[in-house]
Every structure is written in C-alpha cells, then in structure tokens.
Chains A and B, each alone.
Chain A
Amino acid sequence: KQEVTQIPAALSVPEGENLVLNCSFTDSAIYNLQWFRQDPGKGLTSLLLIQSSQREQTSGRLNASLDKSSGRSTLYIAASQPGDSATYLCALRMIKAAGNKLTFGGGTRVLVKP
C-alpha cells in the first residue's frame, strides 16, 4: 500500500527565506505527482504537475523535483512572502490504482512571518 509522508507537518519562516517542502512515498510506480496549495477552509489549487518521466518542473518562484528511485519529491519556494502562508499537499497517481484516484500526503502547514 502506498504511503505518502510530508515532513515537517508545520513550518514557520521569516519573509524572504526560501522554503523547502518534502514529500516521501514508498511505491515509485506512479504516473505523476502533483503539488497543491490549500488556504484555510478552501479547495485545492494546483501548483505543479510532474510526470513520472520528468525530473523537475518550474513555475515562477516555484520549483518541484522528483526522484522516483529514492521516493522523494521536493517543492522549493524562493523568496517566501506572507501570501505563501498555506498548507501544501503532494498527491500521487499510482499505476496500480484504478482510474484517476490520487493518494495524498498529510500536508505541510506553512507560516511566513512578515
């Protein structure tokens, strides 16, 4: 059974510092991995989608890497801002799973202090 772990569960940094968020998984047979952002009480906003064959994806200040051999993905957010405060979730689509089911990590709650 796939297990997806995000450590730490919470993180507090001063504004301007780079953020490094980790996602670990036990089964590397994946189609893709998606990073989401969730603001309190709201839905999920997709940040980056990395296909199984890719090593990284970039969008603005965000960069996500994928290392299937070690079962890890890392989301980097450069020069953090208070508006980056949110919970960040990684989700995997497994080859063994039917359809489009996603398996989520528990999330990392980020607070960027002004």
Chain B
Amino acid sequence: KAGVTQTPRYLIKTRGQQVTLSCSPISGHRSVSWYQQTPGQGLQFLFEYFSETQRNKGNFPGRFSGRQFSNSRSEMNVSTLELGDSALYLCASSPTVGGNHGYTFGSGTRLTVV
C-alpha cells in the first residue's frame, strides 16, 4: 500500500518567485493537511482539505494557499517567496475528518529560498 507521496523532495527558489508543492494521500484517504516545519517555530499547521474544500486554516499570510482535487491529491502554493519561507513542508493524510483516526505523513518537500 503506497504511502503519502510528496513532490518534489527538494526545491531551491529565489525571493519573489512562487512555488507549488504536491501531495498525493494514501489511497482512500480524503483528508489532507499541510504543515510547515522550521528550526525556530517547530511544526505549524497551514491548512486542511477534505472533499475539495478547505476545512481549517492556520495563521499564515495569504501568500500561502492550497487546493484539493477530486482524486484527493492536494497542492499548496506560496507566492512572492521570502527567505523566511525556507522550511520543510509536510503533508499528512487521514481517512476522513473527525473520528479517531491518526495521521500518516509524507517525506516532505525541503524548500530553500535564496
């Protein structure tokens, strides 16, 4: 059974550019969440999608956005990149919203902004 797949694994971008990250959840999972991990702030929640709808959003500026497709795959986009956006971006999938399910995380995308 395939796990959560994140692409690409590594990215280097220049300040001011935009970037799109992709996440394919475990087959049959319909909930996808995104987290940002930095040494200083730890793991911070970005947003969550279920059935193509954003269900929950963390405290991040509007430059961070996302979407979910009908096959549950999700993308997140960061526009006008800043140096502080350099981080490991993690995607997690869960069968549904609510209930007592745990999370399965992907390997992450390492974004470096120069």
Contacts and interface: CB of A to CB of B under 8 A. Distances in A.
Co-complex (A, B): yes
Interface in A32-79: 32, 34, 36, 41-46, 49, 51-52
B102 A32 contact: yes
Contacts of B108: 41-43
B107 interface: yes
B53 to A, nearest CB: 10
Interface string B75-114: 0000000000000101010100111111111111010000
B103 A41 contact: no
A45 to B, nearest CB: 7
Interface residues of A, number: 25
B31 interface: yes
B61 interface: no
Contacts of B94: 100
A51 B108 CA distance: 26
Nearest to B4: A43
Contacts of B62: none
A46 B105 contact: yes
Contacts of A44: 90, 92, 105
Given A34-B102, A46-B102, A107-B42, A99 B107 contact: no
A100 B47 CA distance: 10
Contacts of A100: 31, 33, 48, 56, 94, 97-98, 101, 103
Contact of B103 (A51, A97, A98, A102): A102
A46 B103 contact: yes
Contacts of B50: 99
A101 interface: yes
Interface of B: 4, 6, 31, 33, 35, 42-43, 45, 48, 50, 55-56, 58, 88, 90, 92, 94, 97-108, 110
Interface of A: 31-32, 34, 36, 41-46, 49, 51-52, 89, 91, 97-104, 106-107
